[in-house]
Structure 1
Amino acid sequence: MSPSTQDSTAPRGSLIRGLLFRIGLVVTVVIWATLSVPSFPLPLRWRYWWITRWCRIVALMVRYIGGIRLQINGLDNLPKDPGVMLAKHQSAWETLNLLPWFYPQSWVLKRELLKIPVFGWGLARLDPIAIDRNAGREALRQVIRQGTARLAQGHWVVIFPEGTRMDPGQRGRYQQGGALLACQAGVNVTPVAHNAGEHWPRQGVRLTPGVITVEIGPTIHTAGRTPAAVNREAEEWIESAMERLTDPRYRGC
Structure 2
Amino acid sequence: MISLWIRNLLYWLVLCIVTPLFFLLLFLAAPLPRRSRHVLGVTWAKSLLWTLEHVVGLKYKVVGRENIPSEPSVITSKHQSGWETLALQKIFPWQVYVAKRELTWIPVFGWGLVLMNPIIINRSDRSRSNQRLLQQGLERKRHGFWITVFPEGTRTKPGMPGKYKLGAARMAKQFDMPMSPVAHNAGEFWPRNAFLKYPGEITVVIGPPIYPSEAVGPEAMMAEAEAWIESQQRLIGGVGPFAHPDEKRQRLAPPASA
After TM superposition, the score normalised by the length of structure 2 is 0.88
Among 129, 148, 153, the alignment partner of 1:139 is: 129
How many Å apart are 1:182 and its aligned residue?
0.7
Among 76, 79, 83, the alignment partner of 1:93 is: 83
How many Å apart are 1:37 and its aligned residue?
2.5
Q: Contact (CA 8 Å) 1:19, 1:205: kept in 2 or not?
A: no
Give the distance between the partners of 1:252 and 1:139, measured in 2 at CA.
37
Aligned to 2:158: 168
Instruction: Please identify, of 114-123 and 139-148, the stretch whose mean Cα deviation from structure 2 is larger.
Output: 114-123
Give the distance between the partners of 1:154 and 1:201, measured in 2 at CA.
33
Q: What is the 5 A alignment of 1:149-228?
A: 149-224=139-214, 225-228=216-219
Q: What is the 5 A alignment of 1:26-175?
A: 26-175=16-165
Matched, 1:250 2:244: yes
Partner amino acid, structure 2, of 1:171: P
Aligned to 2:229: 238
Question: Residues 38-85 of structure 1: CA distance to partner in whole angstroms, max 9, x if unpaired?
Answer: 211111111111232101111111112220111011011011001111
How many Å apart are 1:19 and its aligned residue?
3.4
Q: Which runs of 4+ in 1 moved over 4 A?
A: none
Give the distance between the partners of 2:124 and 2:55, measured in 1 at CA.
37
Give the distance between the partners of 2:5 and 2:133, measured in 1 at CA.
38
Q: Contact (CA 8 Å) 1:87, 1:193: kept in 2 or not?
A: yes
Aligned to 1:5: none
SS at match of 1:235: helix
How many Å apart are 1:251 and its aligned residue?
4.1
Partner amino acid, structure 1, of 2:148: V
Q: Contact (CA 8 Å) 1:83, 1:157: kept in 2 or not?
A: yes
Using CA pairs under 8 Å that are at least 6 residues apart, name the structure with larger relative contact order, 1 or 2.
1
Give the distance between the partners of 2:144 and 2:24, measured in 1 at CA.
27
How many Å apart are 1:155 and its aligned residue?
0.9
Q: Contact (CA 8 Å) 1:21, 1:65: kept in 2 or not?
A: yes
Give the distance between the partners of 2:79 and 2:204, measured in 1 at CA.
12
Aligned to 1:229: 220
Q: Contact (CA 8 Å) 1:17, 1:206: kept in 2 or not?
A: no
Q: Contact (CA 8 Å) 1:84, 1:190: kept in 2 or not?
A: yes
Give the distance between the partners of 1:143 and 1:172, measured in 2 at CA.
20
Question: Residues 163-201 of structure 1: CA distance to partner in whole angstroms, max 9, x if unpaired?
Answer: 100111111011111111111111111100011111122
How many Å apart are 1:99 and its aligned residue?
1.3
How many Å apart are 1:112 and its aligned residue?
2.3
Q: Which consecutive unaligned segments of at least 5 residues does structure 2 have?
A: 248-258
SS at match of 1:214: strand
Give the distance between the partners of 2:199 and 2:141, measured in 1 at CA.
36
Give the distance between the partners of 1:223 and 1:133, measured in 2 at CA.
28
RMSD of aligned Cα (Å): 1.8
Q: Contact (CA 8 Å) 2:42, 2:90: kept in 1 or not?
A: no
Q: Contact (CA 8 Å) 1:16, 1:206: kept in 2 or not?
A: no
Give the distance between the partners of 2:229 and 2:90, measured in 1 at CA.
20
Matched, 1:22 2:12: yes
Q: 1:251 to 1:180 in 2, by over 3 A?
A: farther
Question: What is the percent sequence identity of the aligned residues?
Answer: 39
